[in-house]
Chain A
Amino acid sequence: MKKLTSFGPANLMARSPETHPLTWRLREDGQPVWLEEYQAKNGYAAARKALAEMAADDIVQVVKDSGLKGRGGAGFPTGVKWGLMPKDESLNIRYLLCNADEMEPNTWKDRLLMEQLPHLLIEGMIISARALKAYRGYIFLRGEYVDAARNLNRAVEEAKAAGLLGQNILGSGFDFELFVHTGAGRYICGEETALINSLEGRRANPRSKPPFPAAVGVWGKPTCVNNVETLCNVPAIVGNGVDWYKSLARPGSEDMGTKLMGFSGKVKNPGVWEVPFGITARELLEEYAGGMRDGYQLKCWQPGGAGTGFLLPEHLDAQMYAGGIGKVGTRMGTGLALAVDHTVNMVSLLRNMEEFFARESCGWCTPCRDGLPWSVKILRALERGQGTPEDLDTLLHLVNCLGPGKTFCAHAPGAVEPLGSAIKYFRHEFEAGVARPQGSAEAKPQAVGA
């Protein structure tokens, strides 16, 4: 058993700067691309262009026109988010935060970028900070990503020494300093207002919105929070232009550019790959992941992280972009899909997932704090075959009461989306967990408090 270093497939597939703007610089050996090599591969050319030739508002406009959307799972248009920053120039202390708190189960794309292409993120942040007029940035990195922390810190030092971070970057008059801030656990830190609280040294409870971070963010200052992969898209958009960027996605896709997508589970070749938006899930599964392992049949799949719904094999021809997955009834999320094979019991799988969501609830609002452990309790009972006839209704009630708009943040809605879809498609597996009457009243307990 070896300590892990490489993503394997992501490094070995055929790539070009024109078709794989995020990953073409990856080394085949999986080692980090440091400054010298990054610059030899055209690195920081986009930053030079942005700082020398483009006004801040021009960069915002280019990103807006490109159609770039957030890559953290929610898919909000990045240019629109940037446009929310105040126009009032007297508000001159502004922050750019990189959300690198990658903890969503089955999401492992930002780790690839940060470990192997740390300078791509730094370049993306320099250009974005210029656009947002931010003087300081923080990369909020989850504590367990120790290799990413080491590589990012080394890359920041390299960039500082080369005059790419700090005062008067590349003689442009623009100042930007960048810090790597490591977290101390808790999935909820990935929620952008919880992330801001955590960065300020508080408990990571989400904040009420509005005000949005663009108006009142970290330390009360205008703040923009963007995901790692989102920021890594910026250099190529600035360098190659909007028309090129818009030509990357497959016909039919409403989302632009490429996306790090993947397939995990009992597939032959699990991995992360940079692919065009609009690729079908079937192509991802069969061409990239090599299909299911021998002896395993696909039972259902999840398009992008624990917080997305389950889909059936018949949905595999859906195109991987927000609207394409929306058409078949769930969200694309992070685009890193999971294959659930025929050996997996859905009640047990959901029990595992809801244990995660219940543990990671920040506890701030009641539906989430109390509802998720309740779902775990029921799922554990169903898994043991000791459920009550009312349990399914209670679960569906929880799916409804913890859904979008009923809780303080998106944690609980994300938790019940897979649960609702699992019951929808595999109701019989949940019903099978209800205790069979043994002929005596004792063997059929009534739900308490239902």
Chain B
Amino acid sequence: MSQATLIQTDRFVLSDSERTAIEHEMHHYEDPRAASIEALKIVQKHRGWVPDGAIPAIGEILGIPASDVEGVATFYSQIFRQPVGRHIIRVCDSMVCYIGGHESVLQAIQKELGIGLGQTTADDRFTLLPVCCLGNCDKAPALMIDDDTYGNVEPGSVAQLLEAYP
């Protein structure tokens, strides 16, 4: 395809720890392809997102076309193909959280951060995303910040909650 892509691809090198982790995962499956999602997650864990060059690099390790890796990367909602903030806010938008008032919590977050769903703050601190039911339906509305889950969230407590994530 375009030369620009080739140059970018050539510059991208998986780190030793990324490569080791991906190769370790491959052995859990009958077919190396099965590690593609995990490989994308490994790169994302190290870099925060999956840069273009990682796609062919993962394909090469797993022995599958880059287009297949990209197909997977763009299908799954937790794989980020563009840079995201240091912290990911995932607001549960299930009907239970809807009844529990999640839309006003979402509005409070949007107002506090000045971003909409799918956007990242200018200081690269937060990215705001919706998420399927987090399974905390007795404590609706619920949300996750990185790996932490919070329940009974109120619009008025959003600002204080976000402070813990510099």
Q: Is A1 touching B150 in the complex (CB atoms < 8 A)? A: yes
Q: Is B94 touching A201 in the complex (CB atoms < 8 A)? A: no
Q: How large is the interface on A (under 10, 10 to 19, 20 to 34, 35 or more residues)?
A: 35 or more
Q: How far is the CA of A185 from the CA of B38 in the complex (A)?
A: 12
Q: Is B37 touching A201 in the complex (CB atoms < 8 A)? A: yes
Residues of B close to A179: CB separation below 8 A:
28
Q: Is A145 touching B138 in the complex (CB atoms < 8 A)? A: no
Interface assignment of B35: CB less than 8 Å from any CB of chain A? yes
Q: How large is the interface on B (under 10, 10 to 19, 20 to 34, 35 or more residues)?
A: 35 or more
Chain B stretch 33-53: residues in CB contact (< 8 A) with chain A: 33-38, 40-41
- 1/0 per residue B66-103: CB within 8 Å of A? 00100110011111000000000010011110110000
Q: Is B132 touching A106 in the complex (CB atoms < 8 A)? A: no
* A144, A262, A306, most chain B CB atoms within 10 A: A144
Residues of B close to A203: CB separation below 8 A:
71-72, 75
Count A/B pairs, Cβ under 8 Å. 146
Chain B nearest Cβ from A154, distance in angstroms: 16
Q: Which of B108-116, B119-127, B151-159 sits within the interface?
A: B151-159
Chain A stretch 162-208: residues in CB contact (< 8 A) with chain B: 179, 181-187, 198-204
Residue of A nearest to B138 (CB): A270
Q: How far is the CA of A295 from the CA of B76 in the complex (A)?
A: 41
Q: How far is the CA of A353 from the CA of B99 in the complex (A)?
A: 11
Q: Is A200 touching B95 in the complex (CB atoms < 8 A)? A: no
Q: Is B99 touching A185 in the complex (CB atoms < 8 A)? A: no
Q: How far is the CA of A352 from the CA of B62 in the complex (A)?
A: 39
Q: Is A338 touching B133 in the complex (CB atoms < 8 A)? A: no
Q: A200-B33, A201-B35, A270-B137 are in contact. Are A4 and B149 (CB under 8 A)?
A: yes
Q: Which residues of A contact B (CB under 8 A)?
A: 1-4, 7-9, 93, 102-108, 111, 143-147, 179, 181-187, 198-204, 218-219, 221, 262, 264-266, 270-272, 306, 336, 338, 340-341, 344, 348-349, 352-353, 355-356, 359-360, 362
For the complex with contacts A1-B157, A108-B135, A306-B94, 5 further pairs of A-B residues with Cβ separation under 8 Å are A107-B133, A201-B62, A204-B76, A264-B137, A338-B95
| Top 6 A-B pairs, shortest CB-CB distance | A185-B77, A108-B135, A105-B94, A184-B76, A201-B36, A270-B138
Q: Which residues of B contact A (CB under 8 A)?
A: 28-31, 33-38, 40-41, 62, 64, 68, 71-72, 75-79, 90, 93-96, 98-99, 130-140, 142, 144, 147-153, 157, 161
